[in-house]
Amino acid sequence: MSAEDEGRLPVITGIGIALPPRAAQADLWSGFFAQHFGGATRALAQRIFANSGVVTRQAAVNPLLEDVSTWPTERRMRRYLVEALPLGKEAVGRALTDAGLSAGDIGLFAVCSCTGYATPGLDILLARDMGMSAATQRVFIGHMGCYAALPGLGAVGDFVAARRRPALLLCAELTSLHMQPSSARVDTQQIVSHALFSDAAVAVVVTPGGRPGYAVREVAAVTDTSTADHMTWDVTDTGFRMGLSPRVPQVLAAHVRDLVAELLERHGLRIDEVDGWAVHPGGPRILNVVERELGLPPEALADSRAVLAEHGNCSSPTVLLILERLRNLPRPPRRVVLLAFGPGLTLYATLLEVPVTP
């Protein structure tokens, strides 16, 4: 790629994180979920919680303080805006500061969220509160689940490359609002969901090339529609309900190596030339499958596992939490592959690279 082409690549120049209060997984189990899952379900649930890979996680609505499991969806959606607006504002403000920009510099503001809906939504209200221009374009990316950050990054990256103006992506999820009612029926999918999911907001500023940061080289995807029922997120009268088939790891195993290898091949690279991996930790089994199928050494996914342990599965912001962790290592990787998975069943991959200075 010529120096002129390198200069046209969109570059991630700012990341901002906002987290609700944290709680220990053990305290969540003993203080709430041990009672929430009663009877014969309790022993199974305890094993799943213990083997989740999660040590601490965040909750805007902490079940130790407030049980929302019987709330109607309308009430949950009202609470979504109350909690998401200050988190989004904090994340956006930090990302802009990190990038050395003001809100008025932003040409496109994209918001990803699958855990709450309102009109006017986060995109409009935050654009107003942060002082973005009335001419700022906006896009809302909803119901894409855990992989939404990557098509979101593709959308803002394409805008930056085409318009030569900065763009901003916000991923904000409040999974804690979707606690489901207790049931005597054994429902492994709901137990897994309640054991893993967490809340977070992460904002990313993307600017035209020429500034230090990770250049967005390509966003790629593959969707296996024959397994569309393996991962679902249904709107019910009591919030949104997760459907998560135990066969998801097998589907990922069938597709992930080809997706990554073909992405890298288009840029003249091999898997062993990637020195940074940000893999969405949908759970320990997901990370184990990716590690095995890509032939990665155990240390390659250490940061992905660390984010799962420290933050849980925060849905769309999670892969960006891992990227920020990689970015702040004593020796940050030069090439990073982001991987995330979700409904469809869909796999997304993104290649980031720090351009070589002539």
Contact by Cβ (8 Å): 215, 352: yes
pLDDT value at residue 356:
76
pLDDT value at residue 80:
98
Q: How far is it, in rounded angstroms, from Cα 209 to Cα 207?
A: 6
Q: Which residues contact 226 (CB under 8 A, 6 or more apart)?
A: none
Whether 132 has a pLDDT exceeding 80, the answer reads yes
pLDDT value at residue 2:
52
Mean pLDDT over 124-128 rounds to: 97
Start-to-end CA distance of the chain, whole Å, equals: 12
Q: How far is it, in rounded angstroms, from Cα 257 to Cα 284?
A: 18
User: Which range, 18-22, 38-42, 225-229, has the best average confidence (pLDDT)?
Assistant: 18-22
Whether 146 is catalytic: yes
Whether 186 has a pLDDT exceeding 70, the answer reads no
Is-same-fold flag (7-207; 214-353)? yes
Helix (H) or strand (E) holding 115: none
Helix (H) or strand (E) holding 50: helix 41-50
pTM of this prediction? 0.96
Catalytic annotation, pick one of 112, 114, 146, 314: 146
Peptide bond into 308 cis (omega under 30): no
**CB count in 10 Å sphere of residue 223:** 15
Sheet of 11-18: strand order equals: 137-142, 108-113, 167-174, 199-207, 11-18, 214-223, 346-353, 335-342, 276-279
For residue 184, count CB atoms less than 10 angstroms from its CB and return exposed for 0-12, middle for 13-18, buried for 19 or more: exposed
Mean pLDDT over 312-332 rounds to: 97
To the nearest 5 percent, what fractions of the chain are helix, strand and coil?
45, 25, 30
Percent of the chain exceeding pLDDT 90 equals 89
Q: Among 3.40.47.10, 3.30.565.10, 3.30.300.30, 3.30.70.1290, what is the CATH number of 214-353?
A: 3.40.47.10
- φ, ψ for residue 174, nearest 5 deg: -125, 75
Which pLDDT band, with edges at 50, 70 and 90, does 91 fall under?
A: very high
* Nearest Cα residue to 128 out of 153, 104, 105, 97: 104
Contact by Cβ (8 Å): 138, 108: yes
Rg of the chain taking only CA atoms, in angstroms: 20
Mean pLDDT over 37-54 rounds to: 91
Beta-bridge mates of residue 50: none
**CB count in 10 Å sphere of residue 120:** 11
Whether 184 has a pLDDT exceeding 90, the answer reads no
Contact by Cβ (8 Å): 205, 153: no
Whether 71 has a pLDDT exceeding 90, the answer reads yes
CATH code, residues 7-207? 3.40.47.10
The residue written with tokens 């935050």 in the block is 126
**CB count in 10 Å sphere of residue 165:** 15
Alpha helix (H) residue ranges in 164-230? 188-196
- E strands, the chain, are 11-18, 22-24, 56-58, 108-113, 137-142, 167-174, 199-207, 214-223, 231-236, 239-244, 276-279, 335-342, 346-353
Domain ranges of the chain: 7-207, 214-353
Whether 117 has a pLDDT exceeding 80, the answer reads yes
Mean pLDDT over 30-41 rounds to: 89
